[in-house]
Structure 1
Amino acid sequence: MLVVGFPVGQLQANCYVLAPHEGGECVVVDPGQDAVETAREQLDNHGLTPVGVLLTHGHFDHVFSAGELCESYGIPAWVHPADRYMLSDPGAALGPEGRQLFDGVSVKVPGDLRELSGDTVLNLAGMEFDVRPAPGHTGGSVLFGTTTEEGGRLLLTGDTLFAGAIGRTDLPGGDHERMLETLRGEILPRPDETAVLPGHGTTTTIGRERAGNPFLRGLGTSDDAAN
């Protein structure tokens, strides 16, 4: 599998291009601020044709270029319904002070915007993505899981899990208790070898985070909590 990641925008959010191989179809995940030019360069370099845009959540640093990219290639985007409003009103999830940053800013929303609800499986560009709700950072945060042809596991976590940290929960739509439940139920049960492609920072693995992430140590899984 081909995985190309690159940081974009002022907040250096990670945008990813995933494809089974070069010279075919692909998906783009989280095209944030100023992502279009670099995304096009990567697509051209690898001979790729995008068939869809996947959004881990609705914050502007992950979705800002989604509308332009979708329009350029005539492709749909997928987002959880709880975060859909942020695509047309990016300041809504930043609080009163943050909202001022977007006064007078025109945002292009994908013309074909499709909803992710509940547990979903998407088959795109010859890849299967297991979509799991992951509320906490936002109400509509999701995880995208997939496997390589060699059997490796990949998990795109957006701002739910980083190397050594987790996403903040103090912005509108955030909920710390729901974040903890997501970490227990959706992150900790996964195999240690699962590669984590986060929304910011460097890649990591579930095993590395289970052992060293201070926000995961001592949490236990949802099964442990029930016993």
Structure 2
Amino acid sequence: MTLPLEDLFNDVIAKSMRGLGISDADLAARSGVSAEDIAAAKSGTVNDTVLRQIAPHLQLDAASLVTMAHNGWRPHPVSVPGLEQFNTPYHDMTVNAYLVWDAETKNAVAFDTGADATPMIDFIQKKGLNLSLIFLTHTHGDHIADLARLSADGTVTTFAHEKESCADAKTFKLGDAECWESGGLRIEPRSTWGHSKGGITYVISGLERPVAIVGDALFASSMGGGMVSYADALATNRKEIFTLPDNTVICPGHGPLTTVGEEKTHNPFYPEFK
């Protein structure tokens, strides 16, 4: 499955301006770029000079932002045995859910439901897997839309962080839940909040390479909007995702799979790695 990037370069500009509380007039005063040119960039006009001038004032990497504007990069395709991505339409966008499983025991674990769990349920049946647990990265509607059906009305235990309210899920505190085991898989929760109150990244070991199910904390070339706290969204990503090995597969809530190493090189929000 080849998915487009979740965000365009102007989405990155808008997210950083909102997160930093910078208006068009503020950015114009700081960068020397006219308010008209800033408005044009936010509407999708590509002007390399403008982008390079405003990027530092938005704490963005200029070269990565310009590359995005010219559609100059997308992550290499990633395939890991025991990992499957399910992409389903939700209103005017699409959303991802994931399944991981141990080939020997056939134990499977789901992460979020997407808008429609039918493809995942069909896949589980086709592969002869046993869905043992469901984990929620966060409880925004597009990520839990089909939880009742995927969990068979609560038959399969679902976990979410205590700050994420969901009637059909058991909650956990990070201090009390160091990790879970399922078959040959180990699942470690890490706090990547900021987009949501209790956003969790689940780091999975036991497959041929490490996998991080990040929800809306991070996207290829972008990140989730800092709806609760932009500063903490940036900080928790740095602490909990970018410290993982470079070959770690990042499974975002929207858009294509990517890796920690590729995001260090190409994500404008993290200039310190360039």
Is the shorter-chain TM-score for this pair beyond 0.5, marking a shared fold? yes
Alpha-carbon deviations, 1:134-193, whole Å to 9, x = none?
11110110010012343x1111110001110000123xxx21011121122112212111
Aligned mates of 2:148, 2:183 — CA distance in 1: 20
Aligned mates of 2:152, 2:89 — CA distance in 1: 20
- Unpaired stretches in structure 2, ≥5 consecutive residues: 1-80
Give the paired residue count: 190
Please tell me whether the aligned partners of residues 23 and 47 of structure 1 are also in contact (alpha carbons under 8 angstroms).
no
**Structure 1 stretches of at least 4 aligned residues deviating more than 2 Å after TM superposition:** none
Aligned mates of 2:83, 2:210 — CA distance in 1: 12
Please tell me whether the aligned partners of residues 22 and 47 of structure 1 are also in contact (alpha carbons under 8 angstroms).
no
SS of corresponding position for 1:143: strand
Match of residue 127, structure 2, among 46, 53, 59: 46
- Unpaired stretches in structure 1, ≥5 consecutive residues: 88-108, 221-227
Q: Which residue pairs with 1:64 in the alignment? A: 145
Aligned mates of 2:96, 2:183 — CA distance in 1: 20
Please tell me whether the aligned partners of residues 185 and 207 of structure 2 are also in contact (alpha carbons under 8 angstroms).
no
Name the stretch that deviates more: 21-30 or 184-193.
21-30
Match of residue 164, structure 1, among 208, 215, 221: 221
Alpha-carbon deviations, 1:47-101, whole Å to 9, x = none?
11101111001111111111222125711100011111xx3xxxxxxxxxxxxxx
TM-score (norm 1): 0.78
Alpha-carbon deviations, 1:115-142, whole Å to 9, x = none?
1312521112431101111111101100
Q: Which residue pairs with 2:269 in the alignment? A: 215
Higher gyration radius (CA): 2
Q: Which residue pairs with 2:246 in the alignment? A: 192
**Against the structure 1 CA distance between its residues 157 and 58, is the aligned structure 2 distance closer, same or farther, given a 3 Å change threshold?**
same
Between the two structures, name the one with larger relative contact order (CA 8 Å, sep ≥ 6): 2
SS of corresponding position for 1:62: helix
Q: Which residue pairs with 2:193 in the alignment? A: 135
SS of corresponding position for 1:178: helix
- More strand by percentage: 1
Question: What is the correspondence of 1:1-227 to structure 2 with a 5 Å cutoff?
Answer: 1-10=81-90, 11-21=93-103, 24-35=106-117, 37-71=118-152, 74-84=155-165, 87=166, 109-110=167-168, 113-119=169-175, 120-150=178-208, 152-170=209-227, 174-218=228-272
Aligned mates of 2:192, 2:104 — CA distance in 1: 31
SS of corresponding position for 2:163: helix
TM-score (norm 2): 0.65
Aligned mates of 2:267, 2:85 — CA distance in 1: 22
